[in-house]
Structures are given as structure tokens and as C-alpha cells.
Chain A
Amino acid sequence: MNYLSDRRLLFFLIVIAAILIPAAGICADTIIPPQYIGNTNNPYILPDGPGPGFLLSAAIGLVAGMLSATIGAGGGLIVVPALMSAGISGIYAVGSEIFRLFLFSAIEAVRMGLNKRINYKMALIMTGGTAAGGFAGFSLSSSIFLADPAGADVFISAMIIFWLIIYSFIIIPDFKEASHKYALELLRKENAEKEKEAAIQTGSSQNAEEAPPQKGNADTPQTGKTSAKDSALISFPDEEPWEIARTIRTMKLPPYINFPTTVKDKVLGADEELADTNPDDMEEAAKIADLSEAQPYARIPVLPALLLATVGGFFMALTGSAGIVLSFTVLTKGFGCVAAIVAGTDLVRLALSSGALTMGAFGLNGFINIYCITGLIAGTMTGIHLGGKAIRYIEPYRLKGLVSLVVISVIINRLLALPGQLKKAGADISYGLSTTLDQSALYIMIIGMVIFCGWLFYALVRDIIRDTKPILDEETK
């Protein structure tokens, strides 16, 4: 047997090495690395650059702005679900919404400040509470996101549903009450007209004097414009305080803070008489009289307000909704505070706390999308002015109805989107079912938004056209 000589062996090895080394290099080059590694459901996957894009974000912002003009502030209840439906991860949608809130409420707060509608002490106290709650909410939300991004979406959707159900308990009864009042007013008018007609038939002469003022009242544009005063951003009508407002304002829970109130004791008229009272009641009455001299309802305890702000902040970081509807209702009705000042104070609270959350939490951790923010803010500012002008011509009860419709459509949207998100998180749900429900959710939300915006836009255009026509009476015609 002939063995290979050392020289030949060396030559052979060199040839093999020469073949193998480039081959290894080629192998390495042919390994195509993926763009992302790890699970498909991992928190370090960058959001798709433009996200839903500037124009879609601007459209969402427009609806949010109109909603803000209608209910006072916020709009977050629609922005986060809409962005999530557009494919943005929940925490990025919340971050972008809080950034939008910061920019929008900062400008509105300055406007309120110029109108002297701010209680700065109260605003600072509530900012503290909201920021504390917000940071707690952020840490919870981000830890859930880092552990399971799809699970975080499920969590955020569930929180939005929970939060909006609380909203709907405020908004829907409010709408029912407003529509009831409107119906009563209509009935009263109808009765008055019937009486008038009856009087004409019986030949009463008094109608001649009564006719002109009634004409004025029946003038629809006039009534439309007076209802403008009820609109949220133009002026804030005071709410009828709940009974608990007296208790809250007189409770012994220091520290306190002065805040203008709508709570007033009933003043007996000249023809009214006090009922017979026993001595104990008289003493109580004397105590109340002493209190009333010392302005018993002038101040509110700080702690309940702080607690309210903290809860609001916590949910704001979870859902993106600032809870203005809730805090406004609780402060005006539950605490008996003057609505205009509550609105201004709330906006300052919102501006400061959302600023702190953006700079210290969501923004600093990159949970924001610049395309979304720019589109949202441009849409919001236009929506606020457009909505602010449009609501002057819509009956308040109709506005409340429209807001209720939007809230319900958002609740349904999130409920229908849940199966799809659960599927992403690993639940065994069929693809067909989750896709169908996702599409339905999207359409339901779009329908709600289109009805809301369409109504406002139609009202504005109709009244602009009406205003361009000359007003001529019968004689001059």
C-alpha cells in the first residue's frame, strides 16, 4: 500500500482548506438573518414607522377634537381605540394620546387662564394626584407590555371597556334627562299654542299683546344660538349639585381648600313660613345659621379631590382617557363646585400631569409615535374650533345623544376587538371568527364617528348657509 508522502499530504490539506474556507464564508453569507428575533409577540419590535399615517391620524384627531368641543375636554376615549383599530399597539396609542392631551390642554389651559377660570392651588393639588396615579398606571402598563405585548393590548382594551362603562353611566342618564326636559318644554309650547288658538277662536283680545314675544321665542335660530351658551368650551353652565355636596363641603377632613360653590341653602320667601319645630331642631337650625354666616360651603376637603385625581391619573395612564367627564361631573355635582372654574382647573391639571407623564414616562421610554402625534394634534385643533362653532346650533340634548352614541360604539368596538387580541396573545380562537369580529368592530366605530361628525358638520354648514341669506320680514319681501 502506498502512503501519501508528507509533501503530498500537506498539498492535499492546503487544497481542501482552500476549498473549505471560501465555502464556509459563502455559507455564512447565505444565512439570511431575520429582521426580528424572539417571539412574534415581543415588546422590542419597532412600530411600523408611519403607523396609520398622518392623514388617518388627523381624521381621528378631528373626531377627537369635535368630541372635546362637545364634552369639554378629552377625546381620549375615541383616540386610543381608533389607533388600536388602525394597528398601533395599545401602549403606543396611549403614549401618543397623552402627548396629544399635553399639547392640546396646554393651549386650552392658557386660554382658560386668560379668562381667569382657574383655581391654581386646586390645580396643583390635583396635578400631584393625577401624576402619582399616572406614574403608577404607567409602571403597571409597561411591565405588562414588556412581559407580553399582546396581553397588554387585551388589558388596555378591557380597561377602556371598564372605563367607558363608567362614563356611560354618567352620559346616558344625562342624555335621558336632557331629552326629557326638552320634550317637556316642547309639550309646554304646544299647550301654550293650543291655548292661544282657543283664545283666538273665543275672540279674546289679549293675544294681540302676547303675540310678538311668542314669535320671538318660536324663532328657531334664536333658540339655537342661545343654546350655544350651554356648549362646553364657550361657557360652562353650573350643574345642580347632588345632596352629597353639602355633606362633602361641611365634612371634617382637613386640610381644606377654598373653591367657589353652587351649593346654597334655601331662602324662604316672604309668603313662606317655617313649620313648627321642637327646641332641638331650633338649636340645630341655629348652628346651621352660625355656619352660614361663616360661609359653610366655601371650602372643600382636599383628600377626596386628591383621591379622585389619583384614580383619574391611574386610568389615564392605562386607557389614555383623562377622565374629564368623570372628574367634571363629580366636582360640579358631587362637590358642588362652579363649573367654569372646574373646567379651567381641570385643564391645568391635565396639561401639567400629561406633560409630566410624557416627559417622564411614555416619551422617555419611546412609547410614542411622531406621525400619530402630529396628525392627531392637527386634527384636534381643527376639530375643536369646528366643533365649537357647530355645537352652537345643536340642541344640547342631541349633543348628549351623539356623545352617548360614540361612547357605545367605542364600547362595542373594543368588545369585538377582544377576540382578535386574545388570539394574538395565544388564545385558541379561529382566524375567521377573530377577523370577522375585528372588521365589524372597525365598521361600528367608523359608523359612530361618521354620524357624530356628520351631524356637527351638517349643522355648521346649514347654519352658515342660513346666515348668508338676508332676513326680510313679510312687508319688505
Chain B
Amino acid sequence: MMKYSIKTLFASLLLLFLSIGALGTMYLPLEDGKNSFEIMENTFNSLRKGITPPFDELNVANRANLGKSFSANLTFSNRRMTEAATRILLRNKLMVTPKGRTLKIQGDLGYTLKYLMDDVHQLYLNGNKKIENKYGMSSTQSMFVVDRILKKLAISMKSKRMTAQEKLINKIRFEELVPAYNLRSAPPIHINSGFTYLSIGTFALLMLTLLWDLANLLFFRTVTDISFLKKMSGAAKIENKAAFIKKQKARKKKAEALAKKAATATADVKKGKEGPAKEKAKKNKPPTTATPKNPEAKSANKKTAGTTTESKPAKAIEKPVSPKKAQSKASQKPSEKVIPPAGNKKTAGKSAPSKPKQATPKVAKPAKPAAVDKPPAPKKGKVKD
């Protein structure tokens, strides 16, 4: 059993501060001004990005559209958007005829979609430079315009009842462009590296948790330990003092009782056997000591000296009983002797009820309930001894 003291409290506090410190260091800037939490969150964002958009699957689905010419009218919400869309569509080899905010486009549907998917793939791989060079505007701006183009194109395909193409365009938009655009701040991560990062992060968190757990374990065990609490609050001192006073009082009482007993005993002896007693007293009496006549004075004298012959019976009571004698006395009371300590299950179960019955069934009967009710009594006595 561990003993909890002020040392364990300090150790637990030290561990608590250590773990809080370790947690605090996670808020310190580590790389590019980003703290550990942000780096880990970025890793999780990359892992989120790992829900890989279906590039290959959609490329295969687009093969049927390669070489198919199409025309569509795309109307945009404002002039600037129209101009940006014109630039993007022209760069993807389509013939564009602007008419106000409406663009009439003509060209190969398959290749148009392929080029747009390549751009999305570049965005997914965080190849922003390439996109910027291609369109002369930032990757987010161009990809946002691509999103609008695809939306208008899908509507146009729907109006022409080209459902397969409409579905494909919607898929490109929602399953490729949206994830790539929304998760653009997270760099792509390979699944193996993702697993490694995750394992390292988990291990670090596990260590931090262990430290925190140990600190809490020590702290709460110490703080709720009764002996520690009593020691710290001073209750233990008060209890010890009270116990000491109680002991002293008990000793006094005992001594008084013994003195009374001794006095009555000597009085009886005097009354019963005055003649021989006097002779004996005369023989044994040392010449210097003078025995007081009244019994109270005798007992007082006995307390201080305790060597006179009259005090013999009292001595016999005061003497600590030898173990052998105690055993023989105890054997007269089977109820007290037979019951083993509560901890010993085997003997407690077997010997306690049977022995008194077999040994002294008649004598032991009245003592039996008391013995059964007090199984831990001998153990307590032992501990006190």
C-alpha cells in the first residue's frame, strides 16, 4: 500500500504542471508561425482531402464525349464574370462569341471537359502556379469561374436533354472541383504518410494522456486519503491527544479500581485470618518500613513502593498475564478462542461453529452468540499488543 503524504502531493502537482506545460508547448509556434495544434489540424485536413476525388473514374466516363462537337449559350450574372469566363473558355480551345453577358460557345465537349478536369486536378495537387500562368489570374478566381461555367453548362445540357453529359458535368463539379477548391489550403497527402502522421500524433497524445492520468491519479488519491487529510488539517494531532488523555483516564480508573480491590482484599484477609496473618506480617516485616493501618493509606503506599506483603494479592492482579496462562484461561472460554481472525476464510468457515459444540457443548452454549458476533476481537487484541 502506498502511503500518501505531502511528498506525493508535490509529486502530483509537479506532474500536473509538467503535463500542463507539455500541453502549453503545443500552443507555441513551431513551423511557419503555426503551432502544434494547427499543424495537426492541417494534417487532419490533408487526411480529409484524402477522400480522393474520382479523377480516373470521371476521365473514363468522359471518353465517350471526346470528338463530340457541341454548342451552348452561357449567360453570366455580370460583365466581369463574363470576361473572365471568355478568357478561360478561349484558353481551353473553344470558339466563343460574346453577346452582352451571354457567351455562345462551340467546340469539342470531351476535350473541353478533359482540360477543365486537368485544371481541377492541378488545384487538387496545389499546383496553383500552373493555373495562374495558364489563366493570368489567381487559381481561386479561375476555379470559381470554372465552377460557374460548369454550372451553366450543366443547365444547357439539361435543356438539350443530354442527361448523361449533364450528370457527368455535375459529378465533375461536386466530386472533383468542390473538394479540391474547398480543401485547397490543405496539401495532398499519401495514405501511407497519413497513417504515419496519425500514428505519431496518437502516440504523442497517448504519452500526454498517461502523464496527465498519473498526475491526476496521484493528486486525487493523496487529496482524498483520510490519514493525509487528518495529518494536514491537524485532526490527527487532536485525535492522538484525545486518545492519550483517554488512555491516561483509563489508567487512572484502573489504578483506582485496583487500589479499591486491594484494600478490600486485605481487609478480608485481616478479618478472616487475623492471627496467622499477624504472625506472618511480623516475620516478613522489614524493620524499617511502617505499614499504615487504614486500607486507603496502604493502597497509596503500594502505588509508590508496592513491596509490602499485604499487597501480594494486588500484585497478582497487576502482573501482566503470561501467554501460557492466558491460553489456559482462554481455553475455558471456547467462544473467544475458537473463532479465527476474519481474514482467514477457510478456518473461519469451518472451526468457528463446530468446535464449541464438540468440545464443551453444555458450557459453551451461553457464550456462543457472543463469540459469533465478535469474530475480529482476537485480531484487534493482537494488533494492539
Looking at the complex, which one of A27, A104, A378, A381 makes contact with B80 (CB distance below 8 Å)?
A27
Looking at the complex, which one of B183, B243, B246 makes contact with A46 (CB distance below 8 Å)?
B183
**Inside 8 A of A44's CB, which chain B residues have their CB?**
48, 178-179, 182-183
**Inside 8 A of B11's CB, which chain A residues have their CB?**
none
B51 and A365 form a contact (CB under 8 A): yes
Q: Mark A316-347, 1 if CB is under 8 A from B, else 0.
A: 00000000000000000000000000000000
**Is B111 close to A, CB under 8 A?**
no
**Is B332 close to A, CB under 8 A?**
no
Assembly CA distance A368 to B201 (angstroms): 12
**Inside 8 A of B29's CB, which chain A residues have their CB?**
none
Looking at the complex, which one of B41, B136, B147, B221 makes contact with A37 (CB distance below 8 Å)?
B147
**Is B223 close to A, CB under 8 A?**
yes
B239 and A471 form a contact (CB under 8 A): yes
B209 and A103 form a contact (CB under 8 A): yes
Least CB distance from B294 to A in Å reads: 32
Question: Of the 9-residue stretches A122-130, A257-265, A291-299, A460-468, which lies at the interface with chain B?
Answer: A460-468
Q: Tell me whether chain B's interface is mostly helix, strand or loop, or mixed.
A: helix
Q: Mark B168-199, 1 if CB is under 8 A from A, else 0.
A: 00000110011101110110000100110011
A34 and B144 form a contact (CB under 8 A): yes
A377 and B209 form a contact (CB under 8 A): yes
**Is A472 close to B, CB under 8 A?**
yes
**Is A371 close to B, CB under 8 A?**
yes
**Is B6 close to A, CB under 8 A?**
no
Within 8 A of A (CB), among B363-383: 370, 373
Q: Mark A28-64, 1 if CB is under 8 A from B, else 0.
A: 1111011011100010111001100000000000000
**Is B230 close to A, CB under 8 A?**
yes
Assembly CA distance A359 to B141 (angstroms): 36
**Is A249 close to B, CB under 8 A?**
no
**Inside 8 A of B199's CB, which chain A residues have their CB?**
359
**Inside 8 A of B46's CB, which chain A residues have their CB?**
366
- Residue of A28, A358, A377, A382 ringed by the most chain B CB atoms within 10 A: A28
Given A30-B80, A44-B183, A365-B51, A388 and B220 contact (CB-CB distance below 8 Å):
yes
Least CB distance from B151 to A in Å reads: 10
Number of interface residues of A (CB under 8 A): 60
A-B interface pairs (CB < 8 A), number: 181
A369 and B220 form a contact (CB under 8 A): no
Within 8 A of B (CB), among A132-146: 146
Chain A residue nearest to B216 (CB atoms) is A385
Within 8 A of B (CB), among A368-426: 368-371, 373-374, 377-378, 381-382, 384-386, 388-389
Assembly CA distance A385 to B212 (angstroms): 11
Assembly CA distance A66 to B91 (angstroms): 62
B223 and A464 form a contact (CB under 8 A): yes
Assembly CA distance A178 to B87 (angstroms): 76
**Inside 8 A of B174's CB, which chain A residues have their CB?**
38, 42
Given A33-B144, A467-B226, A475-B246, A38 and B178 contact (CB-CB distance below 8 Å):
yes
Least CB distance from B87 to A in Å reads: 7
**Is B83 close to A, CB under 8 A?**
yes
Given A28-B87, A358-B202, A472 and B81 contact (CB-CB distance below 8 Å):
no
Least CB distance from B375 to A in Å reads: 12
**Is A255 close to B, CB under 8 A?**
no
A464 and B229 form a contact (CB under 8 A): yes
Within 8 A of B (CB), among A208-234: 209, 213
Assembly CA distance A104 to B226 (angstroms): 28
B41 and A370 form a contact (CB under 8 A): yes
Least CB distance from B15 to A in Å reads: 12
Least CB distance from A32 to B in Å reads: 8
**Inside 8 A of A467's CB, which chain B residues have their CB?**
224, 226, 229-230
Assembly CA distance A284 to B93 (angstroms): 90
A31 and B242 form a contact (CB under 8 A): no
Q: Mark B20-39, 1 if CB is under 8 A from A, else 0.
A: 00010010000000000110
- Residue of B46, B51, B201, B235 ringed by the most chain A CB atoms within 10 A: B51
A365 and B79 form a contact (CB under 8 A): no
**Inside 8 A of B246's CB, which chain A residues have their CB?**
475-476
Assembly CA distance A28 to B174 (angstroms): 24
**Is A252 close to B, CB under 8 A?**
no
B49 and A107 form a contact (CB under 8 A): no
**Is B317 close to A, CB under 8 A?**
no
Chain B residue nearest to A389 (CB atoms) is B224
A364 and B47 form a contact (CB under 8 A): yes
Assembly CA distance A50 to B37 (angstroms): 9
**Is B297 close to A, CB under 8 A?**
no
Chain A residue nearest to B88 (CB atoms) is A28
Least CB distance from B192 to A in Å reads: 11
Looking at the complex, which one of B41, B185, B209 makes contact with A107 (CB distance below 8 Å)?
B209
A468 and B83 form a contact (CB under 8 A): no
Enumerate 16 A-B pairs (CB-CB under 8 Å) in ascending A order.
A24-B83, A28-B84, A31-B81, A31-B141, A46-B185, A366-B48, A369-B44, A370-B37, A374-B205, A374-B208, A377-B209, A464-B229, A468-B232, A470-B239, A470-B242, A476-B246
Question: Assuming A27-B80, A103-B202, what are 4 further A-B pairs, CB within 8 angstroms?
Answer: A31-B144, A107-B210, A107-B213, A213-B373
List chain A positions with a Cβ less than 8 A from chain B: 24-25, 27-31, 33-34, 36-38, 42, 44-46, 49-50, 99, 102-104, 106-107, 146, 209, 213, 358-359, 363-371, 373-374, 377-378, 381-382, 384-386, 388-389, 460, 463-464, 467-472, 475-476
Which 3 pairs from chain A and chain B are nearest by CB?
A366-B48, A366-B47, A468-B233
